[in-house]
């Protein structure tokens, strides 16, 4: 209450230097400038360099430099050589996203509507495992899924896989790894959406004789669509580009597009091909995202 002691005159004594509105607008630009500049220089311009790299002369090398030859054939060659890993990545990404959606929805729904006063604790529990290194966690899965491990033995006992069957070095292991690693990206946006739903609307559907299942698909699901859209995007995009799971849990047969790009850059030193593949991946993802967002009818992703 000491603040009231300040005499009122001090405030009116300051003469306004500029019209406040204009000053405030300039303030906004000054506040934005450093961060925006960083993003333009190290995110937007690099993308331009990537496109340029993808059009370099494929016969050049890192040592002698590349010539810009507008070699559009790089794209054709990249697609021709690597359409397998590209399609595989999109397929693994889609399956992993679908599984994440089911698991994530159950969890988000439980936290939002069933957890009561444990809501915050459960949210913390969702994020907590992901503070441990991504790679260390993936190595743990390698241990859990190993041949002759508990999981493989149980599955063999239940005859779900053959006596010689294994999980490591199969698509199952890679997809399981992707699901595990990207699940929080699904749960958090879903929770944000489900948590906003007015529970009375769901009760009202019950009063109007909708079964819980009908009520879910006619009320809860449509109202949670913004979360579903952003959750699926935030899961699908990193999952398609990931190569850690394919490398640690899979075999060369599960090579994803990320493995190929990484390999072309660091081992083969074939920058034009790697650049072309990156551009193709980005373009594919952009097209899919735009189509998907249009179909889902939500534009408020930001």
> What residues between 158 and 217 interact with other proteins by CB under 8 A?
180, 183
> Would you count residue 43 as binding other proteins (CB under 8 A)?
yes
Question: Nearer Cβ to other proteins, position 148 or 159?
Answer: 148
- Binding part of the chain for other proteins, among 79-87, 160-168, 196-204, 255-263 by CB under 8 A, reads 255-263
Please identify, using beta-carbon distances, which residue of 114 and 253 lies nearer to other proteins. Answer: 114
Q: With left for phi above 0 and alpha for psi between -120 and 50, is residue 6 left, alpha or beta?
A: beta
Residue 119: partners with Cβ closer than 8 Å, 6 or more residues away: 111, 112
96-135: contacts with other proteins (CB under 8 A): 103-104, 106-107, 109-111, 113-115, 120-122, 124-135
| DSSP code for 40 | I
**Residues whose CB falls within 8 Å of the CB of residue 262, separated by 6 or more in sequence, listed in order:** 243
225 vs 290 by CB, closer to other proteins: 290
Can you tell me which residue has the tokens 């690099």? 46
Question: What's the CA gap between 176 and 229, in Å, rounded?
Answer: 21
Contact flag: residue 42 with other proteins (CB under 8 A) = yes
Q: Binding pattern to other proteins, positions 275-294, x when CB under 8 A?
A: x--x--xx--x---x-----
Choose the stretch contacting other proteins; rule: CB under 8 A; options: 38-46, 70-78, 198-206, 219-227: 38-46
Please give the Cα distance from 202 to 218 (Å, whole number).
Answer: 9
State the binding string over 64-103 for other proteins (x if CB under 8 A, else -).
---------------------------------------x
Residue 7: other Cβ atoms inside 10 A: 7
Size of interface with other proteins, in residues (CB under 8 A): 93
Nearer to other proteins, 53 or 254 (CB): 53
Q: Residue 45 has which token pair?
A: 């311009």
CA distance 249 to 147: 12
CB closer to other proteins, 32 vs 208:
32
Query: Can you tell me the distance from the alpha carbon of 219 to that of 113, in angstroms, rounded to the nearest whole number?
Result: 14
């Amino acid at each position: 209450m000491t603040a009231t002691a300040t005499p009122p005159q001090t405030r009116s004594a300051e003469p306004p230097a500029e019209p406040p509105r204009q000053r405030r607008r300039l303030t906004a630009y000054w506040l934005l400038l450093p961060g925006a500049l960083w993003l333009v220089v190290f995110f937007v311009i690099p993308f331009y360099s990537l496109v340029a790299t993808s059009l370099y002369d494929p016969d050049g090398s890192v040592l002698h430099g590349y010539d810009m030859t507008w070699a559009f054939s790089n794209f054709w060659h990249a697609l021709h050589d690597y359409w397998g890993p590209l399609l595989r990545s999109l397929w693994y990404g889609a399956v992993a996203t679908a599984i994440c959606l089911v698991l994530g929805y159950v969890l988000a729904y439980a936290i939002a509507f069933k957890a009561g006063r444990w809501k915050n604790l459960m949210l913390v529990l969702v994020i907590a495992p992901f503070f441990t290194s991504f790679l260390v966690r993936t190595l743990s899965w390698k241990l859990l899924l190993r041949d002759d491990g508990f999981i493989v033995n149980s599955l063999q006992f239940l005859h779900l896989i053959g006596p010689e069957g294994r999980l490591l070095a199969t698509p199952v292991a890679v997809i399981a790894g992707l699901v595990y690693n990207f699940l929080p990206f699904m749960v958090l946006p879903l929770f944000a959406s489900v948590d906003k739903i007015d529970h009375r609307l769901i009760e009202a559907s019950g009063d109007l004789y909708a079964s819980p299942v009908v009520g879910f698909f006619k009320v809860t699901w449509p109202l949670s669509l913004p979360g579903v859209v952003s959750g699926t995007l935030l899961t699908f995009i990193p999952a398609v580009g990931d190569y850690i799971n394919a490398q640690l849990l899979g075999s060369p047969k599960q090579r994803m597009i990320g493995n190929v790009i990484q390999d072309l850059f660091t081992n083969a030193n074939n920058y034009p091909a790697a650049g072309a593949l990156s551009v193709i991946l980005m373009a594919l993802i952009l097209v899919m995202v735009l189509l998907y967002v249009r179909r889902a009818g939500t534009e408020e992703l930001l």
